[in-house]
Chains A and B, each alone.
Chain A
Amino acid sequence: MSTPVLNKTAVNENARILGIGAYRPDVIVTNEDVCQWIDSSDEWIRQRTGIITRHRAAADVSVIDMAEGAAREAIQQAGIEPSQLGAVIVSTVTHPYATPSAAAALTERLGATPAPAFDISAACAGYCYGVAQADALVRSGAAQYVLVVGAEKLSDVIDNHERTISFLLGDGAGAVVVGPSDTPGIGPSVWGSDGSKWDAIGMTHSLEDVKKLGESARHSDEIDDPAILSATQDVWPTLRQDGQTVFRWAVWEMAKVAQQALDAAGIEATDLAAFVPHQANMRIIDEMVKKLKLPESVVIGRDIAQAGNTSAASIPLATHRLLKENPELSGGLALQIGFGAGLVFGAQVVVLP
């Protein structure tokens, strides 16, 4: 008896981004607002970071709400029905449940059930990780259309009074639909990690710390034990970074990764219509532009001035703004690169939708 031969999935030769969407929450936080919490000034913040405002979500707006807003626009622009989605990927580090995923809830809300759904935890590289996955899924034939969302409610995990990262951060969501294409629309992804710098950006506490606090509260005789009340405020995990280490890594190592993505795509900087790096800090963006020797003709994503740093949402949000303000960029090539906590990074050249 001969061994049966398995069927193979019919592959797609190429994939590209078919539609893009954005959700920017309503609350605007200015530098003056920030200066109520930290000793700083509008001028200092603008000079060091390029940030003028950040959008933040109201208490009743969740990561999934924002993801839905961005996803609906991307699906509509892609010209498909939600039921045609073959996979839904949400990149986020601020969905407040370890399980179930934000993606499963989003898929149900969109009417895309039973599409496979999962979250990616790759912080500020999450969107580029998602695009790398979507590209692979579509070209392998595992899915025809893939929704990739970067959605973050970072305002839930900041301490307004600390100075390393909180004042940079905003909330929001950006989404794209990736699908089959006649011509290559997503260049090879250059992605990776460096866990030796695991501590460079991260949370002040783990869920285990929260669990221990809960246990001590249960064993306390006092209903309003002041020690436990105070510990409750301190134990909520918030973000911190070693700015110096991260800045150097971003400027130095990430410019190399961006160049590798250009090389892998087989194009030169002069072929680009746009450069959309993760919106971490305007000074990092400026320095990368210099290191990559991008010509003046390349339009640079600088959404950080209005949106702040929105982690996984920053690249699709910045791309969305660029396309709105410069519709002629549609069809042009954009180099996108995400980098952040892990440390992790991902970059690829894409054809703009």
Chain B
Amino acid sequence: MASNEEILAGLAEIVNEETGLAPEAVELDKSFTEDLDIDSISMMTIVVNAEEKFGVRIPDEEVKNLKTVGDAVSFIANAQA
């Protein structure tokens, strides 16, 4: 089980690998689409990689609710709990 800080760091790594964005840019209040300019296909890739890394299941219908990095961190933390 990872702490929220560890989940954020792991997610930042995944986002960096997919988009080339600096991991520091991946902050809790940032919106995936508005601030980080991540398109729907990249988002699915990030979701798939996050599922693998954190051992959780993020259903398709849940993905549209993950608007900010913080939303994703909370979802993963809850799913792991």
Contact = CB atoms under 8 A, between A and B. Distances in A.
A207 B27 CA distance: 52
Contacts of B24: none
B39 A244 contact: no
A283 B45 contact: yes
B63 interface: yes
Contacts of A252: 48, 51
A330 interface: no
B45 A245 contact: no
A251 B48 contact: yes
Interface residues on A, range: 10 to 19
A46 to B, nearest CB: 12
A47 interface: yes
Given A251-B48, A252-B48, A245 B60 contact: yes
Interface in A283-304: 283, 287
16 contacts: A48-B41, A243-B40, A244-B60, A244-B63, A247-B41, A247-B44, A248-B44, A248-B47, A248-B60, A251-B44, A251-B45, A252-B48, A281-B41, A283-B41, A283-B45, A287-B45
Given A248-B47, A281-B41, 16 more contacts: A48-B39, A48-B41, A243-B40, A244-B44, A244-B60, A245-B60, A247-B41, A248-B44, A248-B48, A251-B44, A251-B45, A251-B48, A252-B48, A283-B41, A287-B45, A287-B48
B14 to A, nearest CB: 12
Contacts of A244: 40, 44, 60, 63
Nearest to A246: B44
B41 to A, nearest CB: 5
Interface in A270-286: 281, 283
A45 B63 CA distance: 22
Nearest to A243: B40
